[in-house]
């Protein structure tokens, strides 16, 4: 059981705690949870970088303007460090890591466009290795090195006036180590006084050991929704229903709202079967992508315990994407972008 620990600032209490618990304990299909969309919900797009200069490139201002034009209120920025192996104990920068200057630049562009910024640094592995498999041979050394990595971005977030910071993303191999993460979070709070979130994978969130030390529960919401490709929004909503019921209860137990720190679908036939896959097929699936966007927003947009979504992702930088834009996660210029505009520009 996760105990509620009072915070230095009640960032998690965007609505009264008693009201949150009452709403979260109701069935998601009931009228008791239905209300107009909370203006405090985060409406965002992730804008990851793949090279050191992406965020200060000539394309950056246009990307920010186009994100803002969808009705988004937030943008997520993702500088990435790397480990050589899953057993390594020291993440490091590479030529693919966004420079600090470029991160400050993109945050400035976002704020000038009226967007709030979630700074969500990643630690990745080379090739097809999954960051969820990181299990360092010396966990104490790894947590010390990781603290240095994330405190670096806590300082940058404070200096650049980012609104929110993610303390980690999809690190299932270490997210059960409560003591290690409590040390990391305590160090972050000495450098950054905004809200903190951890981005757990959809199959990881119930095992994370430190939600009580954070302000939001973050979930990368890549749940499979169908056994076969579909554009049936009603069927996709039915698939979301039991998931929403579990999340309602989880919000009540943790006394935290739940933010979808990532959610997304490639423009490929079958994306609702495996939303986490960049290469589910080679057949265009624009309509399936749009249906998945519609179903998620219809399902969750009216729940008071839901803190919003950051769609993965807005666009690839020219020349850096392995998946052609017409098949990739970006909704830009596709029917899914029109879905977002209809929901977010009301």
What is the pTM assigned to this prediction? 0.91
> Of 163, 195, 183, nearest to 9 (Cα)?
195
- Asked if residue 144 has pLDDT above 50, the reply is yes
Q: What average pLDDT does the structure give for the chain? A: 90
Task: Judge whether 258 and 305 are in contact, CB under 8 Å.
Answer: yes
The 10s digit of each residue's pLDDT in 286-313 is 999 999 999 999 999 999 999 999 999 9
* Averaged pLDDT, 229-235: 98
Q: How confident is the model at residue 10 (pLDDT cuts 50, 70, 90)?
A: very low
Cα-flanking dihedrals φ and ψ of residue 72, to 5°?
Answer: -60, 150
Confidence of residue 39 (pLDDT cuts 50, 70, 90): low
Share of the chain above pLDDT 90, in %: 84
| Residues paired with 310 in a beta bridge | 44
**Does 203 have pLDDT greater than 50?**
yes
pLDDT at 318: 78
pLDDT in tens, 67-122: 999 999 999 999 999 999 999 999 999 999 999 999 999 999 999 999 999 999 99
User: Which of 336, 295, 297, 291 minimizes the C-alpha distance to 313?
Assistant: 336
Q: Which residues, listed in sequence order, are joined to residue 164 by a DSSP beta bridge?
A: 118
Task: Please give the biggest Cα pair distance in the chain.
Answer: 52
| β-bridge mates for residue 74, sequence order | 44, 116
26 — pLDDT class (breaks 50, 70, 90): very low
Domains, the chain, ranges and CATH? 17-344 (3.20.20.80)
């Amino acid at each position: 059981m996760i105990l509620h620990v009072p915070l230095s600032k009640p960032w998690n209490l965007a609505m009264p705690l008693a009201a949150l618990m009452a709403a979260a304990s109701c069935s998601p299909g009931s009228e008791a949870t239905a209300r107009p969309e909370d203006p405090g919900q985060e409406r965002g797009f992730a804008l990851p970088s793949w090279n050191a200069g992406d965020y200060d490139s000539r394309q950056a201002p246009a990307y920010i303007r186009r994100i803002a034009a969808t009705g988004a209120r937030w943008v997520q920025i993702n500088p990435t460090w790397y480990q050589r192996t899953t057993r390594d104990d020291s993440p490091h920068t590479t030529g693919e890591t966004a420079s600090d200057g470029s991160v400050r630049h993109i945050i400035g562009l976002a704020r000038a466009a009226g967007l709030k910024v979630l700074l969500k640094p990643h630690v990745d592995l080379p090739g097809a290795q999954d960051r969820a498999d990181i299990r360092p041979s010396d966990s104490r050394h790894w947590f010390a090195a990781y603290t240095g990595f994330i405190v670096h971005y806590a300082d940058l977030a404070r200096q650049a006036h980012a609104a929110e910071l993610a303390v980690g993303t999809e690190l299932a191999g270490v997210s059960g180590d409560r003591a290690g993460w409590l040390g990391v979070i305590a160090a972050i709070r000495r450098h950054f006084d905004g809200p903190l979130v951890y981005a757990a994978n959809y199959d990881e969130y119930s095992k994370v050991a430190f939600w009580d030390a954070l302000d939001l529960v973050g979930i990368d919401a890549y749940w499979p929704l169908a056994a076969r490709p579909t554009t049936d929004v009603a069927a996709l909503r039915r698939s979301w229903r039991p998931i929403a019921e579990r999340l309602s209860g989880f919000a009540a137990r943790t006394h935290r709202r739940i933010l979808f720190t990532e959610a997304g679908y490639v423009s490929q036939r079958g994306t609702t079967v495996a939303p986490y896959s960049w290469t589910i097929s080679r057949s265009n699936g624009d309509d399936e992508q749009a249906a998945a966007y519609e179903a998620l927003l219809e399902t969750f947009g009216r729940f008071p315990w839901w803190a919003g979504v950051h769609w993965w992702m807005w666009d690839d930088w020219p020349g850096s994407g392995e998946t052609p834009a017409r098949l990739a996660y970006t909704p830009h210029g596709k029917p899914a972008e029109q879905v977002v505009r209809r929901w977010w520009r009301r």
